[in-house]
């Protein structure tokens, strides 16, 4: 009885945590993008239709497969409007560093890939597909090192899972969000010599009870039921010992 009640209470807690996130936008660039009700999206810069070499699997079901978004060696901007009431936001994606990146101390340096949210610089990343020694994914997890993830066989590529980049989970309350990814640096030579791409892009919000149905009352009620049951189990145990 106690084991059952403890398991039930743990399930309630896990349900509460998992429910505290709502997907508002996702795009695998093979099918139409998902947008939550009331949300509008605009993605500019780059092009869709570049075909990956893979597939390569990331965390949480993400996959670098089929078409991906190619930044074309320049900047790209995702703008979301009509966001539901929320207190936080999370961005997750697979990020490709394509072709001859020269790091920050290579033969032709410096090469950086910067990620901004609402104009605020969150990540500044680099790698050394061609030259240099600095590799910095700002918390992202390297999935493919010096492999082939695009159709260009003359240069090697890196693929990074950004789910582990803690800076992509942040406080946010505005009704709109702008995600911008842009390469910079004295050594940046642009596409097709150097480029970047992304796949399995997801944006979620947290703290919006109306969107994902996690009102405080029912959650506390369920915990209350669990605690009452635990008290009942102890009472039955005391009767048996008596």
pLDDT at 7: 39
- The answer on pLDDT for 182 being more than 70 is yes
CB 76 within 8 A of CB 195: no
Q: Where are the beta strands (DSSP E) in 118-175?
A: 120-125, 141-147, 157-161, 169-171
pLDDT of 9 above 80: no
CB 118 within 8 A of CB 59: no
Residue scoring higher pLDDT (9 or 170): 170
Question: How many CB atoms within 10 Å of residue 151?
Answer: 10
The pLDDT tens digits of the residues spanning 124-159 come to 999 999 999 999 999 999 999 999 999 887 789 999
How large is the average pLDDT for residues 18-31?
86
Mean per-residue pLDDT over the chain, rounded: 83
Q: What span, in angstroms and rounded, lies between the C-alpha atoms of 70 and 78?
A: 13
More confident site: 234 or 143: 143
Listing DSSP states for 29-61 in one string gives SSSPPEE-TT-EEEEESSEEEEEPS--EE-GGG
Residue 208's pLDDT is 63
CB neighbours of 231 closer than 8 A, spacing ≥ 6? none
Q: Which of 51-55, 97-101, 177-181 has the lowest mean pLDDT?
A: 51-55
Say which residue, 132 or 220, is predicted with more confidence. 132
Q: Are 94 and 66 in contact (CB under 8 A)?
A: no
Eight-class DSSP state of 126: B
Give the global pTM. 0.78
User: Per-residue pLDDT averaged across 63-67, rounded?
Assistant: 94
Percentage of the chain modeled with pLDDT above 70: 78
Pull the structure tokens for residue 226: 């669990």
User: How many Å from the N-terminal Cα to the C-terminal Cα in the chain?
Assistant: 18
Q: For residue 222, what pLDDT is reported?
A: 39
- Average of per-residue pLDDT across 2-18: 37
Does pLDDT of 224 surpass 60?
Answer: no
CA distance 151 to 191: 13
Report the percent of the chain where pLDDT is more than 90: 67
**pLDDT for res 16:** 38
Going edge to edge, which strands form the sheet with 40-44?
40-44, 76-81, 176-184, 112-117, 120-125
> Residue 190, by phi and psi: left (phi above 0), alpha (psi -120 to 50) or beta?
left
**pLDDT score at 84:** 97
| Selection from 33, 43, 140, 144 nearest residue 93 by Cα | 140
What is residue 241's predicted lDDT score, i.e. its pLDDT? Answer: 45
pLDDT at 242: 53
């Amino acid at each position: 009885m106690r084991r059952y009640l403890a398991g039930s209470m743990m399930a309630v807690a896990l349900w509460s945590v998992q429910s505290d996130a709502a997907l508002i936008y996702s795009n695998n660039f093979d099918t139409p993008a998902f947008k939550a009700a009331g949300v509008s999206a605009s993605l500019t810069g780059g092009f869709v239709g570049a075909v990956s070499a893979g597939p390569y699997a990331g965390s949480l079901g993400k996959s670098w497969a089929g078409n991906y978004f190619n930044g074309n060696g320049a900047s790209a901007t995702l703008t979301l409007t009509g966001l539901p009431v929320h207190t936080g936001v999370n961005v997750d994606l697979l990020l490709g560093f394509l072709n001859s990146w020269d790091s920050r101390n290579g033969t032709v340096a410096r090469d950086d890939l910067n990620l901004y949210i609402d104009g605020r610089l969150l990540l500044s990343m680099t790698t050394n597909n061609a030259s240099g020694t600095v590799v910095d994914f700002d918390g992202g997890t390297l999935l493919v090192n010096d492999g082939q993830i695009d159709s260009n066989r003359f240069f090697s590529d890196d693929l990074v899972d950004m789910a582990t980049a803690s800076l992509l989970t942040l406080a946010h309350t505005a009704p709109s969000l702008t995600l911008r990814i842009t390469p910079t640096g004295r050594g940046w030579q642009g596409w097709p010599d150097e480029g970047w791409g992304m796949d399995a892009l997801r944006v979620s919000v947290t703290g919006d009870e109306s969107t994902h149905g996690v009102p405080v009352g029912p959650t506390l009620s369920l915990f209350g039921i669990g605690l009452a049951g635990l008290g009942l189990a102890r009472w039955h145990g005391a009767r048996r010992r008596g």
